[in-house]
Amino acid sequence: MPTSEARVRANQQNSLKSTGPKTAEGKAVSRANGLKHGLTGSGVVMPDEDRNQVDQRHAALQAELAPKSCLGAIMVQQMAALSVRMERAVKQEAKAIANRVRHAAEEFDEARIEAAEQLLEAIADDPRRSVRKLRKSPEGIDLMIRAWEDLWGDLNQSPRPLWTPAHQAKAENLAGYRVDSEPGLKIKTLSDAIRGVAEHDGGAERAKERLLERIEAEIVELENHFETLDFETIALDRAEAGDRALFDPSREAILARRYESEASRKFFQALKQFRQAEAEFAERAETAPTEQTSDALASSWEREPRSRSAEPREPEPAPATPRATSTTAGNGGRGSEVTGKTAATCPIEQS
């Protein structure tokens, strides 16, 4: 089916509205939209603060190490970026740990409440197991007491009780029984009588009273059990939450520690390569004058005729000592003067 002209014009107009940033500043901002911590990657996307630190570190290392070779200068640039990355990884980890420690007690309480809520929500799947675990914590017992109190309030409504099959199922689960299971038949029998679907001695009102008594007995038993919990151990666990927070086992923290280790490994690898490159450059610089002098003498000997070797010759003035040269990578093969100063120009794009 061909596209109508109206649709084509509409598509053309829409394409003009969402083409992304146009300016260099806008593109730089857009590039960093997905930046989280900046510990991975090649450093193309780098916060301005880190970029300034890299520039300062590079200047300091350049002055301290004084690379003579172009390769050495490249290694210095890499070491500057890697050292800043290592420091930022350490700083980020320290701040993350400090944050975990500050909120450790809150997270401890929240985790206990959340665990109890999850058990109560899934109580229908395995009532006996859920009730057993809920009774081990004050948070779980509080939730069970509130649940029983909600049932008591609905059952005691006036002029008639609010008691549905869902209320019956909840009561059976809170008692540790599956719905319509044999141990929960007493609750089912009373519930049927209250809803008028089955007869009971004394009628629906008597069934309501007996079920209210059952709920009240459950609440009293839970309150008594609450007093038997080991609150001293719970308080100790809460007090030690800050110590446990010193180690972060999350996936994000594991990756951050891996990035820090990788940056450290690459830094010392770059340092090793720098020393090797500088040593090789110095060795070439030392051998260059000897080789050049030998080549010059051999060439002069070959140009002199043998027939005139016995004739006396007037002494010639000694030529000026040639300046040693050494061709290194990074200068286009043109060679660079070997002196005691810093290496020949090696253009490096600054980050």
User: Tens of pLDDT along the chain (351 residues)?
Assistant: 566 777 777 777 766 665 666 676 666 556 555 444 454 444 444 667 778 999 999 999 999 999 999 999 999 999 999 999 999 999 999 999 999 999 999 999 999 999 999 999 999 999 999 999 999 999 999 999 999 999 999 999 988 999 999 999 999 999 999 998 887 789 999 999 999 888 777 789 999 999 999 999 999 999 999 999 999 999 999 999 999 999 999 999 999 999 999 999 999 999 999 999 999 999 998 886 655 555 554 555 455 555 444 455 555 555 544 444 333 333 443 333 333 444 445 666 554
Beta strands of 148-246 (E only): which ranges? none
Q: How many residues does the chain have?
A: 351
CA–CA gap between residue 75 and residue 267 (Å, rounded): 9
C-alpha angle 89/40/26, rounded to 5°? 105
Backbone angles phi, psi at 325, to 5 degrees: -125, 155
DSSP code at position 305: -
What was the pLDDT predicted at 167?
96
What was the pLDDT predicted at 302?
54
Instruction: Report domain extents, the chain.
Output: 116-244
What was the pLDDT predicted at 308?
46
What was the pLDDT predicted at 48?
73
What was the pLDDT predicted at 28?
55
CA–CA gap between residue 114 and residue 81 (Å, rounded): 43
What was the pLDDT predicted at 324?
40
In 10 A of CB 241, how many CB atoms? 18
What was the pLDDT predicted at 61?
96
What was the pLDDT predicted at 296?
52
The whole-angstrom distance between residue 269's C-alpha and the CA centroid of its chain comes to 24
pTM: 0.60
Peptide bond into 159 cis (omega under 30): yes
**Cα R_g (the chain), whole angstroms:** 42
Residue type, 183: P
